[in-house]
Amino acid sequence: MPIKLKWVIAILMGATVFRAQTILFLSSVETFGGPAPDAWFGPWLSDAILGFLVPVMVFLFWRSRSVKIWGALVVYNGIGAFDYSQGLITQVLSPMPAEMASPTSVYAGIAVFLVMQLVVLVLLFSRTVVRHFCLHK
């Protein structure tokens, strides 16, 4: 696999590490006395878990070559993309309070990272990447 392609995938995956910070938002839901609708608990919890897994997944991407690793990367990025779409739906149905973030910043932030995750998925299905993980000796 070309080194530039490896770097692009690793950087796009690595950029999603910022989702780990959502662990700090969990106490902001109404159940815990915060201003955010309880509907945000699920997206924030899954964001935190996926964010803490980013270094592991980037390491596996960079250092391992097997069909299982490729499958794990596809599943991880697919779940990540689904999680971002869940965030968009949550913002539509139960908007985050303006005192936490403006609607524009919420939509824009989630959309940018969703696109990054989808680009990684597309690249993981490219012939070069599939060959790298699935046809090595």
Per residue in 86-118, pLDDT (tens digit) is 999 999 999 999 999 999 999 999 999 999 999
C-alpha–C-alpha distance, residues 135 and 132, integer Å: 6
C-alpha–C-alpha distance, residues 114 and 89, integer Å: 13
Indicate the number of domains in the chain: 1
- The pLDDT value recorded for residue 136 is 63
Structure tokens at 122: 């597309």
- The pLDDT value recorded for residue 47 is 96
Question: CB 12: neighbour CB atoms within 10 A?
Answer: 19
- The pLDDT value recorded for residue 1 is 83
C-alpha–C-alpha distance, residues 119 and 7, integer Å: 13
Domain that holds residue 128: 3-134
The contacts of residue 65 (CB under 8 Å, 6+ apart) are 132, 133, 136
Low-confidence ranges of the chain (pLDDT < 70): 136-137
- The pLDDT value recorded for residue 137 is 56
Structure tokens at 82: 């689904």
pTM of the model: 0.91
Chain centre to alpha carbon of residue 59: 15
